[in-house]
Amino acid sequence: MPGRARPAAEYHGAVGVAKRLQASVTGARKTGVLFVCMGNICRSPTAESVFREHAQRAGLLDGLSIASAGIGDWHVGQAPDNRAIIHARRRGYDLAGLRARQVTREDFARFDFILAMDLRNLRDLKALCPPDYPGCLGLFLDFAPHVGWREVPDPYHGGADGFETVLELTERASEGLLAHIRRLR
């Protein structure tokens, strides 16, 4: 859905993330990034793979722990949707080895950035979020305000164009998130 994006710095935990990132710079811990969608078979595994590849190209992968999860448990243990795998492969991204899992409260202790694909996912994550979570909980596309969208649309019930849109949006947001992480370090 189109809409005005919020600057990433406005998110809950911006100061906490900066402190946690300092630990990753010194080698004490990796910066954790978790992408979340509804079932963890289309959008969030695509975001995980795209972000991982962009981090590798930027020389930052060794300092990051990257994963994805779903709000629901419908697809736990399953590979991503075959259409997502095919479209990602055409752009050089590999989703085939990923398996769906459900987000847990423990993820808030493991990940500095927990990024939802849409507002419904974000609402569900906020319900799970401990009040003292020091990280960044928000929408992935808020790291790409120039695209003019806040939510990554769910391609599950649509055609090929939907999967291409997901790839386009996650590529732009990956660039923005990496730039944000660099600034915090």
Q: Which residues are catalytic?
A: 37, 43, 154
What is the distance in angstroms between the CA of the first residue and the CA of the last residue of the chain? 31
Q: Identify which of 90, 64, 93 has the alpha carbon closest to the alpha carbon of residue 170.
A: 93
Residue type, 122: L
CB-based contact 123:103 (threshold 8 Å): no
Q: Identify which of 158, 127, 126 has the alpha carbon closest to the alpha carbon of residue 139.
A: 126
Report d(CA 121, CA 40) in Å as an integer.
11
Strand, helix or coil at 64?
strand
* Calculated CA dihedral for residues 145, 56, 160, 86, nearest 10 degrees: -170
Supply the DSSP symbol for 29.
S
